[in-house]
């Protein structure tokens, strides 16, 4: 903790923006609020999702509420840079705003565009269902810089088994990427099609709630969309991420923040008029 404090002071003297720069991912999440008070807030993420408590919004409900979420550009090739932050792998999208994939969200009589700025990976998953975590979680962060608003899409992922019902993500490119950013501070530039990280049907079938960033300074006001369907990923790819090292050259065994005491309103945006039918869709695949 002392060294964090020292770094904060050093950062202030150097005129670096804030204490944020002092965080290097090696501190225990329980200690985050001491340095970053917002991490002790009331609307923090991640959470464990209790499906039973959610309100369903079917396609008709969404139409009646004039709530719409449109996805554009996720099937186009993008220029990206992967980076080992010492805590996780972070992929930054380099294209100009007009070329970035985007979500157009219409809600409460207002339409706002959010651009995909970065994707980061966590092992184990940060969110959970009924208190159970998955092996891995991908988070796609979207921002509207003018309005200073953030939305995040989260996918829970398990190691693939032999079951044919699972939807496997083809992230073999990330195998190479992870191997090239093993050490803290390493980066790797390449091109990627964002859809690679998403389920085939990414237009619906997710829970919405208000939470926060899951890394310091844990800023609140993030709208989360957590997909109900759990995807699968080859063990080789997951293991490649687990070879990444932190600032001290130690393997990052896990980088998931514990579940937070946040009891938000949960909305489930179903694909079908009868939300129960969403599960049948999963089985067909």
Ligand X SMILES: *[C@@H]1O[C@H](CO)[C@@H](O)[C@H](O)[C@H]1NC(C)=O
CB of 73 to ligand X, least distance (A): 6
Helix, strand, coil share (%) of the chain residues, nearest 5: 25, 35, 45
Please report the beta strands in 74-127, taking only residues with DSSP state E, as ranges in sequence order: 78-84, 89-93, 102-107, 110-122
Residues contacting residue 148 through CB under 8 Å, at least 6 positions apart: none
Residues in the chain: 285
Give least dist CB 50 to ligand X, A: 27
- Six-digit token pair at 243? 């070879």
Longest dimension (CA), the chain: 59
Binding track over 213-252 against ligand X, x by CB under 6 A:
--x-------------------------------------
Rounded Cα–Cα distance for residues 93 and 30 (Å): 31
- Dihedral-angle region of residue 15 (phi above 0 means left; psi in -120 to 50 means alpha; beta otherwise): left
Residue 106 near ligand X by CB under 6 A: no
User: Of 43-51, 89-97, 194-202, 247-255, which part binds ligand X (CB under 6 A)?
Assistant: 89-97
Q: Residues touching ligand X: how many (CB under 6 A)?
A: 14
Q: Give yes or no for a contact between 254 and 123, defined as CB atoms under 8 angstroms apart.
A: yes
- Between 99 and 281, name the residue whose CB sits nearer to ligand X: 99
Q: Per CB under 6 A, which of residues 113..142 are in contact with ligand X? A: 117-118, 120
Closest CA to 159 of 178, 136, 139, 129: 136
Residues 78/193, Cβ–Cβ less than 8 Å: yes
Nearer to ligand X, 107 or 118 (CB): 118
Unique residue bearing structure tokens 């979420």: 69
Minimum CB separation of residue 94 from ligand X in Å reads 7
Least gap, CB of 218 to ligand X (angstroms): 11
Give the pair of three-digit tokens for residue 284: 């067909």
Instruction: Between 38 and 282, name the residue whose CB sits nearer to ligand X.
Output: 38
Using rule CB under 6 A, residue 99 touches ligand X: yes
CB of 243 to ligand X, least distance (A): 19
Region near ligand X per CB under 6 A, out of 88-96, 132-140, 173-181, 252-260: 88-96
Compare residues 125 and 215 and give the one whose CB is closer to ligand X: 215
Helix (H) and strand (E) counts for the chain? 6, 16
Dig out the tokens for 285 from the structure: 């695949």
Judged by CB under 6 A, does residue 263 bind ligand X? no
Distance CA 22, CA 20 (A): 5
- Cβ distance to ligand X smaller for residue 89 or 157: 89
For ligand X, which is the closer residue by CB, 78 or 181? 78
Site for ligand X in 41-80 (CB under 6 A): 76-79
Footprint of ligand X (CB under 6 A): 76-79, 85, 88, 90, 92, 95, 99, 117-118, 120, 215
């Amino acid at each position: 903790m002392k060294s964090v404090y020292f770094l904060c002071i050093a950062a202030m003297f150097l005129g670096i923006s804030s204490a944020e720069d002092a965080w290097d991912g090696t501190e225990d999440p329980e200690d985050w609020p001491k340095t970053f008070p917002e991490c002790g807030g009331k609307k923090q993420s991640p959470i464990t999702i209790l499906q039973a408590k959610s309100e369903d919004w079917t396609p008709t409900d969404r139409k009646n509420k004039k709530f719409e979420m449109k996805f554009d550009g996720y099937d186009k090739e993008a220029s990206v840079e992967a980076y080992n932050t010492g805590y996780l792998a972070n992929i930054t999208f380099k294209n100009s705003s007009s070329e970035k994939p985007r979500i157009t969200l219409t809600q409460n009589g207002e339409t706002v565009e959010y651009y995909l700025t970065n994707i980061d990976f966590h092992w184990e998953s940060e969110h959970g269902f009924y208190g159970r975590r998955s092996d891995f979680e991908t988070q796609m962060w979207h921002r509207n810089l003018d309005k200073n608003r953030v939305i995040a899409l989260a996918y829970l992922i398990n190691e693939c088994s032999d079951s044919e019902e699972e939807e496997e993500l083809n992230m073999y490119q990330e195998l190479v990427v992870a191997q090239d950013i093993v050490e803290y501070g390493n980066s790797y530039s390449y091109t990627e099609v964002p859809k690679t990280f998403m389920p085939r049907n990414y237009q619906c079938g997710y829970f919405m709630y208000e939470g926060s960033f899951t890394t310091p300074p844990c800023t609140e006001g993030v709208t989360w969309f957590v997909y109900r369907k759990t995807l699968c990923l080859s063990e080789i790819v997951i293991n490649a991420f687990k070879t990444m090292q932190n600032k001290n050259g130690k393997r990052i065994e896990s980088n998931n923040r514990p579940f937070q005491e946040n009891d938000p309103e949960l909305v489930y945006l179903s694909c079908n008029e009868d939300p129960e039918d969403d599960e049948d869709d999963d089985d067909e695949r």
